[in-house]
Amino acid sequence: MANYITSSLEEGEHIVLNGRLHWVSICEYIFSSIFLFLLGIGFVVAGVMVPNPLFYIAAGVSVLVALIVYLVGRLIRTRTEFAVTTDRFIQKEGILNVKMTEIPLYKIETVNFYQSFWQRMLGTGCIEMVGSGGTSHQIHRIEHPMEVRKTIVSAINKQDSKLQVQET
């Protein structure tokens, strides 16, 4: 994990927390895969009832597409990562096209936490960081959102303490 993130670290900076998306973030891929797999089984049953090789071909294609859809969902989940370092928040998204978002900790003014009843039951949620100037960055459907929020706030407080010591 964190190959891009690790390579972007500056001298003296280290990762405090590695985070990733919750499995809920790929639910639509999982459900689509299940539907396509069941459709493939339906084609096999239809092929048994009405002997026609096209039903078996359709079943094979349906199962193959189900596997591809599931793998795409897994890739998206594993290729979206974020980290809290001693100096900043870094998020990396993408497989072929990579997008990195970096926010220096001293620029973050507020860390908001959002979690619905169902998200609480599943252990997922949303974190929003509001920076100076009112800009915000949200990360949806992350694992252990309260732990991530606490880590970000703690890292900000340590950053502020460091800056105050340097000023005196």
Given this model, what pLDDT does residue 168 score? 60
- 113, 149 in Cβ contact below 8 A? yes
Which amino acid appears at position 134 of this protein? G
User: What confidence tier does 148 reach under pLDDT thresholds 50, 70, 90?
Assistant: very high
Plot region of 143 (φ>0 → left; ψ -120 to 50 → alpha; else → beta): beta
- Interval 107-143: pLDDT, tens: 999 999 999 999 999 999 999 999 888 889 999 999 9
DSSP state of 154: H
- Interval 52-80: pLDDT, tens: 999 999 999 999 999 999 999 998 888 88
